[in-house]
């Protein structure tokens, strides 16, 4: 199908875009990479009256590392740019690891971090990655800007804490301590499909291989990603062994009640989570995963 008619503007500054969004009196939408919005427009599931294209606003795109180690990723930064960035590879290896799982290269060349977070698909990687890394989302409107913790940003399926006159300007990732380890695992039916479910985790081990801290984000099980406190409880203070990783997987699975849909039953998703948490922890621990003493 073809999209319904709309008015189109392509401002070059954030201020112009925000003014149009807040003050047009029309049903206005911002256009990021268009990899979720345009399919909906082609199906006429979305019929905005005014489309505000953010693609010509250069200040919204790019990756910068601040002096305090915080990594700033502009909302219009493409998935592919993050995937190929040497800075991201070094400072936020979890993002580097996870990017290839988002769709296909043609979609990663166009789709953006801001669009993905604003779209808030329950099976999307970005929201879960932001949970795992404790990111902060910077929202802007004509009246100012505010910071929203990533964990408070998605409110439900395709629903976020963003006000109608706000856009995402950038996402801030706190400095990750040297030596932190990461795991990313997901299962999808076909390469590049949205995940049935997936896990993004961080893991801090002390010199004896004991877990100091961990964050385990799970996506594709509920309307929004969740952090598994149960898995973290099972891990903290214990020596990182294969058995412990399995225990954490079981703890995470016992605490969730995933949705059933066309693609997978609740039972299947629960089993996947048990296995994926285990695999993500094993991946994170790497060669330091201690053999269990019989």
Partner 1 sequence: MTRLVDIALTVNGKPVTGKVEPRRTLADFLRDDLDMTGTHVGCEHGVCGACTILVNGASMRSCLMFAVQVDGAELNTVEGLAVDGKLTPLQDAFHRHHALQCGFCTPGLLMTAEAFLKENPSPTADEVRDAISGNICRCTGYIPIVEAILDAAEQLKKTDAA
Ligand X SMILES: Cc1cc2nc3c(=O)[nH]c(=O)nc-3n(C[C@H](O)[C@H](O)[C@H](O)COP(=O)(O)OP(=O)(O)OC[C@H]3O[C@@H](n4cnc5c(N)ncnc54)[C@H](O)[C@@H]3O)c2cc1C
With CB cut-offs between 5 and 8 Å by kind, which of ligand X, partner 1, none does residue 112 bind? ligand X
Shortest separation between residue 198's beta carbon and ligand X, angstroms: 9
Q: For residue 210, with 0-12 CB atoms within 10 Å meaning exposed, 13-18 middle and 19 or more buried, which class applies?
A: middle
Taking a C-beta distance cutoff of 8 angstroms, is the pair 12, 19 a contact? no
Per CB under 6 A, the list member of 41, 88, 95, 111 interacting with ligand X is 111
Name which of residues 149 to 168 contact partner 1 (CB under 8 A): none
Among the residue ranges 1-9, 89-97, 119-127, 134-142, the one whose residues contact partner 1 (CB under 8 A): 1-9
Name which of residues 114 to 133 contact ligand X (CB under 6 A): 114-116, 118-119, 124-126
Q: Report d(CA 138, CA 161) in Å as an integer.
A: 11
Name which of residues 223 to 262 contact partner 1 (CB under 8 A): none
Residue 78: name the closest of 104, 114, 52 by CA: 114
Name which of residues 153 to 172 contact ligand X (CB under 6 A): 162, 167-168
Per CB under 6 A, the list member of 14, 17, 18, 32 interacting with ligand X is 32
Taking a C-beta distance cutoff of 8 angstroms, is the pair 210, 239 a contact? yes
Among the residue ranges 96-104, 172-180, 233-241, 281-289, the one whose residues contact partner 1 (CB under 8 A): 96-104
Per CB under 6 A, the list member of 71, 99, 103, 172 interacting with ligand X is 103
Produce one character per residue of 216-253: b if its CB has 16 or more CB atoms within 10 Å, e if not: bbbbbbbebbbbbebbbebbeeebbbeebbbbbbbbbb
Residue 78 structure tokens: 């493409």
User: Can you state the percent helix, strand and coil of the chain, rounding each to 5?
Assistant: 35, 25, 40
Quick check: 104 binds partner 1 (CB under 8 A)? yes
Residues that bind partner 1 (CB under 8 A): 1-8, 10, 34-35, 38-39, 41-43, 51, 53, 55, 80, 100, 103-107, 109-110, 190-192
């Amino acid at each position: 199908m073809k999209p319904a008619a709309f008015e189109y503007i392509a401002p070059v500054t954030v201020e112009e875009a925000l003014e149009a969004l807040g003050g047009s009196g029309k049903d206005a939408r911002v256009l990021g990479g268009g990899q979720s919005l345009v399919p909906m427009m082609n199906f006429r599931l979305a019929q905005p009256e005014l489309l505000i294209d953010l693609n010509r606003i250069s200040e919204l795109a790019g990756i910068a590392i601040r002096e305090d180690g915080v990594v700033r990723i502009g909302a219009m930064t493409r998935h592919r740019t993050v995937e190929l960035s040497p800075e991201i590879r070094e400072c936020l290896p979890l993002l580097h690891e996870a990017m290839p799982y988002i769709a296909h290269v043609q979609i990663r060349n166009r789709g953006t971090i801001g669009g993905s977070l604003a779209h808030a698909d329950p099976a999307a990687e970005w929201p879960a990655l932001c949970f795992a890394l404790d990111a902060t989302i910077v929202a802007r409107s004509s009246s100012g800007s505010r910071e929203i913790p990533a964990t408070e940003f998605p409110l439900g399926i395709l629903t976020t804490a963003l006000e109608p006159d706000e856009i995402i300007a950038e996402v801030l990732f706190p400095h990750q301590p040297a030596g932190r380890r990461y795991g990313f695992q997901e299962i999808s039916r076909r390469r590049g499909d949205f995940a049935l479910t997936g896990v993004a985790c961080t893991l801090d081990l002390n010199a004896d291989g004991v877990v100091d801290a961990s964050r385990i984000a799970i996506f594709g099980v509920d309307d929004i990603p969740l952090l598994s406190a149960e898995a973290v409880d099972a891990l903290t203070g214990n020596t990182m062994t294969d058995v412990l990783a399995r225990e954490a997987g079981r703890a995470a699975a016992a605490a969730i009640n995933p949705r059933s849909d066309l693609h997978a039953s609740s039972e299947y998703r629960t089993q996947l989570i048990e296995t994926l948490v285990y695999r993500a922890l094993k991946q994170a621990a790497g060669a330091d995963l201690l053999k269990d003493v019989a």
